[in-house]
Structure 1
């Protein structure tokens, strides 16, 4: 990937994070986590509020929430003050996933990234190339030997 745009590095990083998530058997995509995090932080939100919080279009948010509903991580109910508004909230399964992710998944990814990045200094593209070389030698999912063992 040397010489490719920075955006390519970010896509690669997302793929490597997904590998950690897949190995944990969580049944969720990395791109769905921001929705769960927004609900965890703010409490129940409308689709429009979620779209704004995550920074995507409302149709994109509707699609993702539909997937999370099917997986059982969120629930959608009419707002108590206005039956026309529908609020998305975490189910107990969704809250368990968020709690597990905070305590196990994200610390594992953070530790692997810290190990990988060390105390790098210099131009960003050179640092990214060095990080890429490090990931080629030892993938992100293998940088922290702790096993997760959490299945949904």
Structure 2
């Protein structure tokens, strides 16, 4: 069967990247479960890592640090709070803000994952990306920066203007 997404190339790059991301998350989940690291989705690990690396953060700051939308972070934090891995506190300076931090259990969980599963997962992904891992990361960063600087709609509109201009002067 033809892989239509692959054969459409850059037209369906977003779908292809999403498909790869979902596959990586599912396979990461399998590693986490096999190593008994946690009973949490692999997609929640970046939130835990952000809190471990940056300390207590607001929900908005977590979303910013991860480059994702705030509603998704809020849902993840609810599940992590139910699991006892994070806790939220009202900000003393602004009662509208909640500061989220790792609990002791969350700190232990992240320390265990950093020592046991994260290195093995990273090594396995590096092997799957070999020998282009570093170049792939650089290209992904460049793509993210390009889309941030000028979104697709603006690029499409610019291209339309460029193709219409020669006709306008004729």
Both proteins in one fold, TM over 0.5: yes
Aligned length: 122
Aligned with 2:64: secondary structure? helix
Which structure's residues are more often helix, by fraction? 2
Aligned with 2:75: secondary structure? helix
Residue of structure 2 in register with 1:28 after alignment: 40
Q: Is 1:51 the equivalent of 2:63?
A: yes
Per mean C-alpha deviation after superposition, the further-off stretch among 77-86 and 92-101 is 77-86
Aligned with 2:90: secondary structure? strand
Q: Distance in 1 between matches of 2:114 and 2:2?
A: 32
TM-score by length of 2: 0.62
Q: Is 1:16 the equivalent of 2:24?
A: no
Name the Cα RMSD after superposition. 2.5
Measured after TM superposition, the shift of residue 113 of structure 1 is: 3.2
* Closer, same or farther: CA 117–85 of 1 in aligned 2, 3 Å: closer
Residue of structure 2 in register with 1:98 after alignment: 110
Which deviations, in whole Å up to 9, do the C-alpha atoms of 1:22-63 show, x marking residues without a partner?
Answer: 222311111101111111111111111112222222221111
Which 4+ stretches in 1 moved above 6 angstroms? none
* Closer, same or farther: CA 65–2 of 1 in aligned 2, 3 Å: farther
Unaligned runs of 5+ in 2: 7-15, 137-170
Residue of structure 1 in register with 2:101 after alignment: 89
Q: Distance in 2 between matches of 1:80 and 1:61?
A: 22
TM-score by length of 1: 0.69
Q: Distance in 2 between matches of 1:113 and 1:95?
A: 25
* Closer, same or farther: CA 118–82 of 1 in aligned 2, 3 Å: closer
Q: Distance in 1 between matches of 2:55 and 2:28?
A: 25
Measured after TM superposition, the shift of residue 118 of structure 1 is: 4.9
Q: Is 1:64 the equivalent of 2:72?
A: no
The structure that has the greater radius of gyration is 2
Q: Is 1:110 the equivalent of 2:102?
A: no
